[in-house]
Amino acid sequence: MTPSTLRNRGPRWQILLRLGLVAALLGTVFGVAALGRSGELAGLTMRSATAWLISTRPGLVTRVNGLSAAPETAIALPTVRGHDADTGQIGSAVLVADRKTGEVTRVDTAALQAGQPTPLGREASRLLASPTAAALVDLAAGTVTWVDPATGTPRGESSPLGTPFSDAVITADGTVWVVAPGLGSAIPLRSSGAGSPVPVGDPGEALGLTLLAGRPVAVDAATGVARRVDTADRAVIARLPAGVDPVAAAGSNDGWSLVAVVGSPTRLISVDVRSGRTTTIALPGVDLGDLDEPVLAGGLTYLPDHRRGRILVTDGTGSPPQSVPVTGHAGELQAFAQDGLVWVNAPARPEAVVFSGRVHRPIRKYAAVAGSPEPTATATSSQSPSPEPTKSPPPSAQSSVGPTASASSSKSTDSSGSEPGSSPTPDPGQSSGPEAPSPSPTAAPPASPVRCGATLTESATLDHDLDCTTSIGVIIGANDVTLDLNGHTIRYTSGFAGDERPIGIRITGVRGTEIRNGSVRGFRDYIDIRDAQDVLLSGLDLVDFRVGLRINDSRGVHLERTQVVNADNGAVTVDVANSEIQGTDGTNIAGFQGNCYQSTCTMLDSSIGHRYFYINNGSTFVFRRGQFLNRLTVVYEGCSLTVTDSRLGSGNLGGTGERVLENNTGTINDN
């Protein structure tokens, strides 16, 4: 594994860390005859590479074959389920760092076993790994904690420098290089201690790091100068436009090219390090905040667009980039190059893609197994017939729904491993091919029609709107039930007054619930969740209510691509008490008032905007990589608010609780 695949990609919300994807070249070579394949894919068939891909939603790390684009085996990681995570491979071990808890788990890929997690870092600590070393880097705290790859436990001394970092990389010899903008310097760190700071810019200027031919290069945003930091002369190797986002720069393994993303207008700048020639590739219709760090391999640049769930591929000649869908949905994409292949993983979804040059194959990391409450990896022999390559991922299989609601055996995916309704639309001129092998679907028994006031004990899909006069629209009455609204609405058609509280969907005392793909209207409380575990609300539209979400005594409540919006006076968008809730992937919560009471509330890659938002009674609220637009946020004593890598509105902060505001744009008044 090349060390450039595991560097920490900086402070800006749009530059997401490319770490959750780990490749391991097995060294076995398969010829064309052995696979029975034609010679058209020699670039793929002359290699046999596998990648260990993280899937955070079911809590799996899956080995995927680069030839067949099919999963071979998977190892369960229940402690990281629903959390962001980074991975790194050293020898036969994969290290998994939980960004939420700071714990590290060592996975023995030879024995296919995961060890016990070890607390090593703080929340949001990031994992760096090379063939010889591994470390957790806490950018905000300015610390590096070394990890023993043989055990997943601490090794050597922690390296606290007492100043925040803006970026970090690790080289093949196990040296961690960091840049500290406050010092204007790059600093080498090993488990034995820190080396001498290397000046690379004026103190206070934005600085970034990348690897060029495996060697560290610092980029100064103010001047655009890229220079080596591991040589005494600190040689200037390239000059990028002044004002470039330094964390959006990347170098090639051959040492010939350096690229960077530049805004206003958004474009990709490619520099030939040998000649100094600069090429500009226009990216019309793309915002700088949509893009992640470029990956260079084989003369091509791969640019993740996390807003659209795609990869832009360009050859650096100035021609328009090729657009390759990965998921077709907003969400983190993790990409890196290994032995001539480029892997792109969607950690929170089933999809991934493997590239050889411009040829690419879609991957489904896991598929639903009938009767299983969680998605499970599909084990496929690497010698099985491979799907033909495609220019875009194939559309997902969709089951038709008859005149009544039908039962579903899947919590989150269909039998192909893709989420219902999640198929990206291929770009014009691109064709779709067959899907990677996956098990045949198992027919599920039919369910009774969903009706107003019903208690569901098995999964079901709506085939029409429900217009209800009952005090509760639908009750979830068993574990592992999925209610697919299928684009329909559950609507309350009677008025209410005083203390009357009609509820759209009630989830009480159960686990493993999913509500998806539709809307709720007219009820006083739209969704009421109590004493529940592992609840997913996906693709829902909750508008015009008195209380959008009421969540009490529950754990693992997850919102994705869900709108909870009401600006009316007195309306409460979310009322969270003694619970754990997370919003991701474009979730939007906005309105008059929101409450996080004695709870842990987290929002990632989302937006929030209220007239009043209250964080009280020991609550923790964490907001990253989004739009924080509350007019007034009150943080009470004993509570904490963390907002990082986000756009701030012109709101106000009140109260005496702890607040951390870092790497944001815009302003907020801290009273």
Token representation of residue 329: 């949905």
State the CATH number of the domain containing residue 124: 2.130.10.10
Higher pLDDT among residues 274 and 391, named by residue: 274
- The mean pLDDT value for 357-377 works out to 64
- The mean pLDDT value for 145-154 works out to 87
Higher pLDDT among residues 489 and 369, named by residue: 489
Q: Could you tell me if 315 and 460 lie in one domain?
A: no
Query: Is 432 within the bounds of a domain?
Result: no
- The mean pLDDT value for 125-142 works out to 86
Q: Does the pLDDT value for residue 21 go beyond 70? A: no
Q: Does the pLDDT value for residue 421 go beyond 70? A: no
Q: How many domains does the chain have?
A: 2
Instruction: Give CA–CA dist 254/657, Å, rounded.
Output: 50
- The mean pLDDT value for 152-178 works out to 85
Query: Would you place residue 166 in the very low, low, confident or very high pLDDT band (cuts 50, 70, 90)?
Result: confident
Instruction: Give CA–CA dist 298/12, Å, rounded.
Output: 28
What local confidence, expressed as pLDDT, does residue 221 receive?
81
Domain ranges, residue 147: 3-364
Q: Does the pLDDT value for residue 452 go beyond 80? A: yes
Query: Would you place residue 157 in the very low, low, confident or very high pLDDT band (cuts 50, 70, 90)?
Result: low
The upper half-sphere exposure of residue 71, i.e. CA atoms within 13 Å in the direction of its Cβ, equals 28
Query: Would you place residue 193 in the very low, low, confident or very high pLDDT band (cuts 50, 70, 90)?
Result: confident
Query: Is 391 within the bounds of a domain?
Result: no
What local confidence, expressed as pLDDT, does residue 187 receive?
94
Query: Is 444 within the bounds of a domain?
Result: no
What local confidence, expressed as pLDDT, does residue 508 receive?
92
Task: Out of 36-45, 211-220, 283-292, pick the least confident.
Answer: 36-45
Q: Could you tell me if 474 and 343 lie in one domain?
A: no
Nearest of 122, 10, 16 to residue 348 by alpha carbon: 16
Contact assessment for residue 578 and residue 585, using Cβ atoms and an 8 Å cutoff? no
Q: In sequence order, what are the residues at sequence separation of 6 or more whose Cβ sits closer than 8 angstroms to the Cβ of residue 132?
A: 90, 172, 173, 174
Last residue of a domain, one of 339, 364, 389: 364
Q: Does the pLDDT value for residue 426 go beyond 60? A: no
Q: Does the pLDDT value for residue 263 go beyond 70? A: yes
Query: Is 385 within the bounds of a domain?
Result: no
Last residue of a domain, one of 314, 332, 364: 364
Contact assessment for residue 398 and residue 413, using Cβ atoms and an 8 Å cutoff? no
Task: Out of 90-94, 493-497, 531-535, pick the least confident.
Answer: 493-497
Nearest of 1, 67, 57, 58 to residue 32 by alpha carbon: 67
Q: Could you tell me if 511 and 653 lie in one domain?
A: yes
Query: Is 662 within the bounds of a domain?
Result: yes
State the CATH number of the domain containing residue 512: 2.160.20
Contact assessment for residue 639 and residue 657, using Cβ atoms and an 8 Å cutoff? yes
Residue pLDDT, tens place only, 611-643: 889 999 889 999 988 889 888 899 998 899 999
Q: Does the pLDDT value for residue 310 go beyond 90? A: yes
What local confidence, expressed as pLDDT, does residue 497 receive?
66
Q: Does the pLDDT value for residue 520 go beyond 90? A: yes
Instruction: Give CA–CA dist 474/467, Å, rounded.
Output: 11
Q: Does the pLDDT value for residue 392 go beyond 50? A: no
Nearest of 264, 237, 252, 288 to residue 15 by alpha carbon: 288
| Residue whose token pair is 């600006």 | 567
Residue pLDDT, tens place only, 575-614: 888 888 988 878 889 888 889 998 889 998 888 988 889 9
For residues 387, 389, 394 and 397, what is the CA-based torsion angle, rounded to 10 degrees? 0
What local confidence, expressed as pLDDT, does residue 287 receive?
82
What local confidence, expressed as pLDDT, does residue 123 receive?
67
Q: Could you tell me if 357 and 486 lie in one domain?
A: no
Q: Does the pLDDT value for residue 419 go beyond 70? A: no
Higher pLDDT among residues 249 and 35, named by residue: 249
Instruction: Give CA–CA dist 417/579, Å, rounded.
Output: 30
Q: Does the pLDDT value for residue 7 go beyond 80? A: no
Q: Give the percent of the chain with pLDDT over 90.
A: 25
Within a 10 A sphere around the Cβ of 172, how many other Cβ atoms? 16
Average pLDDT, the chain: 77
Instruction: Give CA–CA dist 541/518, Å, rounded.
Output: 6
Task: Out of 33-42, 153-162, 648-657, pick the least confident.
Answer: 33-42
Instruction: Give CA–CA dist 486/401, Å, rounded.
Output: 9
Q: Does the pLDDT value for residue 224 go beyond 90? A: no
Instruction: Give CA–CA dist 322/179, Å, rounded.
Output: 33
Query: Is 647 within the bounds of a domain?
Result: yes
For 215-235, letters b (16+ CB in 10 Å) and e give bbbbbbbebbbbbbbeeeeee
Last residue of a domain, one of 364, 399, 423: 364
Instruction: Give CA–CA dist 88/5, Å, rounded.
Output: 9
Q: How many angstroms separate the Cα of 446 from the Cα of each of 196, 402, 454, 458?
A: 69, 10, 16, 10
Contact assessment for residue 361 and residue 424, using Cβ atoms and an 8 Å cutoff? no
Query: Is 488 within the bounds of a domain?
Result: yes
Query: Would you place residue 671 in the very low, low, confident or very high pLDDT band (cuts 50, 70, 90)?
Result: confident
- 638 phi, psi to nearest 5 deg: 85, 0
Token representation of residue 15: 């530059």
Query: Would you place residue 260 in the very low, low, confident or very high pLDDT band (cuts 50, 70, 90)?
Result: confident
Q: Could you tell me if 358 and 503 lie in one domain?
A: no
Instruction: Give CA–CA dist 284/360, Å, rounded.
Output: 24
Q: Give the percent of the chain with pLDDT over 70.
A: 78
Residue pLDDT, tens place only, 69-81: 889 899 999 999 9
Q: Is 605 helix (H, G, I), strand (E, B) or coil?
A: coil
Q: Does the pLDDT value for residue 368 go beyond 50? A: no
Nearest of 274, 358, 364, 366 to residue 326 by alpha carbon: 364
- 445 phi, psi to nearest 5 deg: -65, 150
Q: Could you tell me if 342 and 467 lie in one domain?
A: no
Query: Would you place residue 475 in the very low, low, confident or very high pLDDT band (cuts 50, 70, 90)?
Result: very high
Query: Is 105 within the bounds of a domain?
Result: yes
Q: Does the pLDDT value for residue 343 go beyond 60? A: yes
- The mean pLDDT value for 166-185 works out to 91
What local confidence, expressed as pLDDT, does residue 32 receive?
29
What local confidence, expressed as pLDDT, does residue 305 receive?
92
What local confidence, expressed as pLDDT, does residue 76 receive?
92
Within a 10 A sphere around the Cβ of 196, how many other Cβ atoms? 7
What local confidence, expressed as pLDDT, does residue 198 receive?
94
Q: Could you tell me if 462 and 321 lie in one domain?
A: no
- The mean pLDDT value for 271-282 works out to 86
Tell whether omega for the bond before 265 is within 30 degrees of 0, i.e. cis: yes
Q: Could you tell me if 112 and 245 lie in one domain?
A: yes
